[in-house]
Amino acid sequence: MDVLLHYFLPIYLLLFGLAFFWHSLMVWKKTGINPYVLHRAKGAQGLVAALFRPLGGLLIIITGSFLYYPDLYLFFCPISILENSIAGISGLALLVASLIWVFLAQAQMGNDWRVGIDEENCTELVHHGLFNHSRNPVFLGVRFFLLGLFLVIPSLTMFFVALFVELLVQLQVRFEEEHLLDLHGDRYKAYCDKVKRWL
């Protein structure tokens, strides 16, 4: 399992990051609109946006220390009871599922894909495919990712980082839903009545 993780986790994190970068680049090339608008957020949204980046960096640091610097990893307080093959395999399955799920959700958003809230360009209400089952499938994939990574790298620090990212996701989802309600009005209300926030 350790040998597998040494190859799997770096490739996986690269692919997960590319999932966001590549689709954003494709939308930018097709439409001329930069879909990465998270940095434009102000107020409470701006604070949430600013916190995503360092927490993502901390996830990478924890993962790197787990893989390559085991003495350093001890400072992140490993949870030994979860260091077993059942938790590890369950975590790997969640990681793979989350990557596929996020790729699919992004593809279904097409040119309406955004990272953050785009106040300048109107986007369509996407309600087909995975969006027919979850109002926020990309964020749901991120939640699967966090749980999977915690099960693969079970440490107290990873738990609290994942918990804090989960809190930010919950806040960001509500900001985005408020924006979509303002943008689409009764159509979005009807969609919310039909489809749950998560599943």
The tens digit of pLDDT for each residue in 111-155 reads 999 999 999 999 999 999 999 999 999 999 999 999 999 999 999
Q: How far apart are CA 54 and CA 41, in angstroms?
A: 16
pLDDT digits (tens, 9 = 90+) for 60-86: 999 999 999 999 999 999 999 999 999
The model's pTM: 0.93
Q: In order of start, what are the domains of the chain with their CATH numbers?
A: 2-194 (1.20.120.1630)
Query: Do the beta carbons of residue 111 and residue 30 sit within 8 Å?
Result: yes
Residue type, 31: T
Q: Judge contact between 133 and 188, C-beta under 8 A.
A: no
